[in-house]
Amino acid sequence: MAILVTGGAGFIGSHMVWALLDAGEEVVVVDRLSTGFRWAVAPQARFYLGDIAKPTVLKQIFAENDIEAIIHFAGSIVVPESIANPLSYYENNTENTRRLLSAAVKAGIDKVIFSSTAAVYGLPDKPLPVREDAPLRPESPYGQSKLMSEMMLRDTARAHGLCYVALRYFNVAGADVQGRAGNSAVGATHLLKVACEAALGKRSSMSVYGTDYDTPDGTGVRDYIHINDLVDAHLQALRYLRKGGGPLVANCGYGKGYSVLDIIEAVRRATNADFRVDYAPRRPGDASLVVADSTLAKQVLEWTPRHDDLGVIVNTALAWERRLEEQATPDIDDLRRRLASGF
């Protein structure tokens, strides 16, 4: 039986596909390529170019493949964009998750692993780390759209016997330690990728939003988790569901934080590049400090992080960025455009 990965051509999804293949799984990918790339999908996976919002797409996939479980990454993830255009986030994240769950129930698929976010917590009341039972008060339509999807999973499980794991990610960073995948987004908003691009001269400067937070250096502090550790948590979630595990919501992070300036300094040390940094006011929806308590994932899913090291996170991200830089020839750029359009 196969595992369906929605959004499998994106940053996290492409890593997930490689991890599943490494584990000997049969993998089916569906992606509309709005932000992902066809070339990012491992060639051993079966690929469908399509939008899960269209019932015919899922109907075809379920008819042509024996799907055991769904790992659902497809969605929009930029907090400021969600504030500017909330309805598109409720459509792409919440409504499309509803469509996917409806199709899964009809097809008799009873295992779902959902890509959620620490944004469901909003601004924490207490000192960190944040546990799963903390108050859920999203500050942005992005966080709200993910929380609504979690609620749909819960209710679908009660009504139809669905088994699911919702993993609340903290800040996902780095790139595949084997160099097969990385963050290839155009116009990236992830802090580490932006810093790597600035250090390598791909952008003239980068911005820091907010220097007056109640943190040691005044900039926001986040829990950065290496992408390989994150996808391994999904593998563990799949094993958990196969063993009959019930509905679970769990954090994915390391339990410690680095500030925006910490990340910038780490990139400067790794590249010996002194790139320009501009300072701007805070953005709406940004919390000062968010760090995970991932005890539940470690205990219930038996998840053991292996890359909890800022140097590893930064160096793998830089290695991938350099690889993209080396490939940035007119022929490769043209090929990427044609692959992304479904050529």
Read off the pLDDT of residues 109-157 as tens digits, 9 standing for 90 and up: 999 999 999 999 988 776 579 999 999 999 999 999 999 999 999 999 9
- What residues act catalytically? 142
| pLDDT tier at 79, thresholds 50, 70, 90 | confident
Quote the strand ranges of the chain, DSSP E.
2-6, 26-31, 46-49, 67-72, 111-117, 163-169, 171-173, 205-209, 221-222, 224-226, 248-252, 258-259, 276-280, 289-290
**Cα(34)–Cα(120) distance, rounded to whole angstroms?**
24
In this predicted structure, the answer to whether residue 65 has a pLDDT above a threshold of 50 is yes
Two tokens, residue 212? 């007056």
Read off the pLDDT of residues 192-242 as tens digits, 9 standing for 90 and up: 999 999 999 999 999 999 999 999 999 999 999 999 999 999 999 999 999
Is 133 strand, coil or helix?
A: coil
Polymer length in residues for the chain: 343
In this predicted structure, the answer to whether residue 335 has a pLDDT above a threshold of 70 is no
The third-level CATH classification (topology) of the domain covering 2-340 is Rossmann fold (3.40.50)
Q: In DSSP terms, which residues pair with 11 in a beta bridge?
A: none
| For the chain, percent of residues with pLDDT exceeding 90 | 87
**Cα(91)–Cα(100) distance, rounded to whole angstroms?**
12
CA 262-266-270 angle, to 5 degrees, is 175
pLDDT at residue number 234: 98
In this predicted structure, the answer to whether residue 337 has a pLDDT above a threshold of 80 is no
pLDDT at residue number 328: 54
